[in-house]
Amino acid sequence: MINLIEEVENKIQSILNELNIQVDNVKVVECNRAELGQYQYNGVMALAKKYGYTSQELAQLVCDKLKQDELIKDANVAGVGFVNITFNNSALINQLNRHKEEVDKICTPKGHKIFIDYGGPNVAKTLHVGHLRSADIGEGLKRLARKLGYEVISDVHFGDWGRQMGMVIAGIEERMPDLPFFDENYKGEYPTISPVSSEDLEKIYPLANIKAKEDEEFLNKCRKITYELQNGREGYYKLWKLFVAESMRPVMKTYDFLNVSFDLYEGESTCNELIAPMVKDLIDRKVAYESQGAVVIDVAKDDDKVEVPPFLVLKSDGAAMYSTTDMATILSRQRRFEPNEYWYVADNRQSLHFLQLFRAVKKAQYVKDDTQLIHFAFGTMNGKDGKPFKTRDGGVMSALTLIDNVKTEIRNKMSNGGENDEEICDIISSATLKFADLSNNRETDFIFDIDKFCALEGKTGPYILYTTVRANSIIKKSQLTNVDKFELLDIDNKAYIDVILNAIKAPMVLQKAFEQKALNIICDYLFVLSNSFNNFYSQTKILTESDKKKRDSYLKLCYIVSKINEELLDILAIKVPDRM
Ligand code: ARG
């Protein structure tokens, strides 16, 4: 079954063919000037001259024919030969009645597997705003792909294995040298509760990091510990297990708040067993070679515009690092899942790392030739001064501080009416933060303007939620239970028809957002649909409409808008509260 737009595209094509004009890819797009029409066809200009017409003549011929069609209310020529089209209300309503089929049509199982790696929090380090972005964008892309019928497996990929682990262990030893974890000859039972809290860890790591910069002996000790941990020294390993779990507790809470979850909660450490054989294999097959004690893979290409340094498989101290675990992790994922695509959602400062990694695994043939590896890079969330986000006292903005700021702002706003339900405020705060994050073009930096993003008006999370809650509450107030079964009538009410016109675009929006991997397309659309709905709401008596059939069609439209909003918000992992 084809949709309304495809139908009119086919019609234009036959009109042109009847004029002996050969064309096979007629594209009709949204009209960028609503006062002229709903959709437009811009292809006439490219064809006219070749077939002996002026653009306007040919456009007029197309319009004359289109006007005779039952789908079309009006077609007119604008400018040098744009064909503007306005559909009959009944055609729009029929199309909206087919919404579910339309969505089902694009959401068929694709038999295509995607592995997505996002979140990427680090043990003993506070989540920063970049981690929020990765979590929000990754979760949205995952849900969008799933919705469209792709099989998606997600992994949080905890940063739990690099040099910072040695630093944390050395830092804990400095504070509590008598713990049995440090005694190599210890034979008893190890404690089963972490000797440090997550707050302690966030202090221990930066201190150890500073010390390692100033004190070479300490740095060497950290290196040695990292190496021994990675090679199975029991006390270190037991301690590591405890503080990793401890460190993840606040992270999981933040993920809960953001409505983000994963299929796999693995980490850099998960692939540890694969590292030694991998290094051996790479050297044996001459993919990698030793250079100044390190093991590297050349990944530069002749036509590189910037220098691409060799990929580091192992450092000279033999310890596994970020690049090592990323490579071994692909091996492990490949063996278990064999995805068609790998997606990594990490900020754009890691672009070089991923470029090297992807070339290295292709060179090593650890993935198939046609396996796609994509880094979805994103820009920085900046403060109002346009510089990377800082707290008031100049420190790095942690995710929790940002969340707290938004919560406070939302609570103040919502407390106007007196009642202030904690859970509802949390849902709205989460929506505020996520919508702000996702409504920007992923790749560009953007300014987090808290006043703007928390506002109840404008392209904001609260506004979209408010609209959805409003639509739901009208239905509730009607006390009618089977609103979804009501019929949309052709009513002479422009605001009503405008909502219908916007609502039919939802399936196309889903498809376009996926093609471009751009969640901001969904946000933009939610804003447009919500605006038209609020306009309709403010201009129309809905519940007090005395003509029952009219009232029922208005209610049905409320129902449709609420369902579309809920469906799209769910892709963005934004929950809708019962009331606001
Ligand atoms: N832990 C990293 C960071 O904080 C992000 C991890 C991204 N994923 C990956 N497989 N490298 O920057």
**SS (HEC) of 146-185:** HHCCCEEEEECCEECCCHHHHHHHHHHHHHCCCCHHHCCC
pLDDT-above-90 percentage for the chain: 89
Is 162's pLDDT higher than 90?
A: no
3-state per-residue secondary structure call for 85-149: EEECHHHHHHHHHCHHHHHHHHCCCCCCEEEEECCCCECCCCCEHHHHHHHHHHHHHHHHHHHCC
Q: Confidence class of residue 416 from pLDDT cuts 50, 70 and 90?
A: low
pLDDT of residue 310: 97
Give the whole-angstrom CA distance, residue 274 versus residue 261.
26
Burial of 443 per CB tally in 10 Å (0-12, 13-18, 19+): exposed
| 159 Cα to the center of ligand 1, angstroms | 7
Ligand 1 atom 8, closest CA: 120
| pLDDT in the model for residue 414 | 82
pLDDT band at 459 (very low <50, low <70, confident <90, very high): very high
Q: Tell me the whole-structure pTM to 2 decimals.
A: 0.95
Alpha-carbon span 239 to 233, nearest angstrom: 10
| Burial grade of 100 (CB within 10 A; 0-12, 13-18, 19 or more) | exposed
Please say if the pLDDT value at position 417 is more than 60: no
Average pLDDT on 10-38 reads 93
In the predicted structure, residue 418 carries a pLDDT above the cut 70: no
Q: Two tokens at 10?
A: 């086919």
Q: Provide the 3-class DSSP secondary structure of residue 208.
A: helix
DSSP-derived 3-state class of residue 78: strand
Name 100's Cβ contacts closer than 8 Å, sequence gap at least 6.
none
Phi, psi of 382, rounded to the nearest 5 degrees: -105, 165
Please check the confidence at residue 391 and state whether its pLDDT lies above 80: no
SS3 state at 447 = strand
- What is residue 420's predicted lDDT score, i.e. its pLDDT? 65
Backbone angles phi, psi at 511, to 5 degrees: -65, -45
Query: Measured in angstroms, how far is the CA atom of residue 525 from the centroid of ligand 1?
Result: 31
Length reported for the chain:
580
Q: Which residues contact 193 (CB under 8 A, 6 or more apart)?
A: 242
Ligand 1 atom 1: residue of nearest CA:
120
Supply angle C-alpha 117, 158, 386, rounded to 5: 75
Ligand 1 site, CB within 6 A: 117, 120, 122, 157, 159, 326, 344, 346
For 330-382, what is each residue's pLDDT tens digit? 999 999 999 999 999 999 999 999 999 999 999 999 999 999 999 999 998 88
What average pLDDT does the chain have? Answer: 94
Radius of gyration of the chain (CA): 29
Q: Whose CA is nearest to atom 12 of ligand 1?
A: 120
129, 381 Cβ separation under 8 angstroms: yes
The number of beta carbons lying within 10 Å of the beta carbon of residue 416 is 8
pLDDT classification of 98: cutoffs 50, 70, 90: very high
Q: What is the pLDDT of residue 317?
A: 83
Amino acid at site 43: G
Query: What is the rounded average pLDDT of the residues 162-188?
Result: 95
Neighbours of 1 (CB within 10 A): 8
- When pLDDT is averaged across residues 567-573 and rounded to a whole number, the result is 98
Distance 468 CA to ligand 1 centre (A): 35
pLDDT, tens digit, 9 for 90 and up, residues 213-241: 999 999 999 999 999 999 999 999 999 99
Ligand 1 pocket test, pick from 126, 350, 352 with the greatest ligand atom count within 8 Å of Cβ, gives: 350
CB 312 within 8 A of CB 84: no
Angle 345-349-350 from CA coordinates, rounded to 5°:
55
Domains, the chain, ordered by start: 4-87 (3.30.1360.70), 163-257 (no CATH), 438-571 (1.10.730.10)
Token reading at 412: 């103040």
**Strands in 244-356 per DSSP E:** 289-291, 294-297, 311-314, 341-347
- Residue pair 381/348 in contact (Cβ under 8 Å)? The answer is no
Above 70 in pLDDT, residue 124?
yes
Query: What is the CA(219)–ligand 1 centre distance, in A?
Result: 23
Ligand 1 atom 2: residue of nearest CA: 120
Determine the residue of 344, 352, 356, 380 to mutate for testing ligand 1's pocket, defined as the one with the most ligand atoms within 8 A of the Cβ atom.
Answer: 344
**Residue 147 CB coordination number (10 Å):** 19
Q: How confident is the model at residue 388 (pLDDT cuts 50, 70, 90)?
A: confident
- The set of long-range contacts for 392-399, using a CB threshold of 8 Å and a minimum separation of 24, is 396/126, 396/128, 397/128, 397/129, 398/126, 398/127, 398/128, 398/129, 399/126, 399/127, 399/128, 399/129, 399/131, 399/132, 399/254
The owner of tokens 């309304």 is: 4
Return the closest-CA partner of residue 528 out of 502, 495, 490, 500. 502
β strands within 368-460, DSSP E: 372-378, 381-382, 446-447
Contact 200, 243 (CB under 8 A): no
Could you write out the three-class secondary structure of 342-366? Answer: EEEEEEHHHHHHHHHHHHHHHHCCC
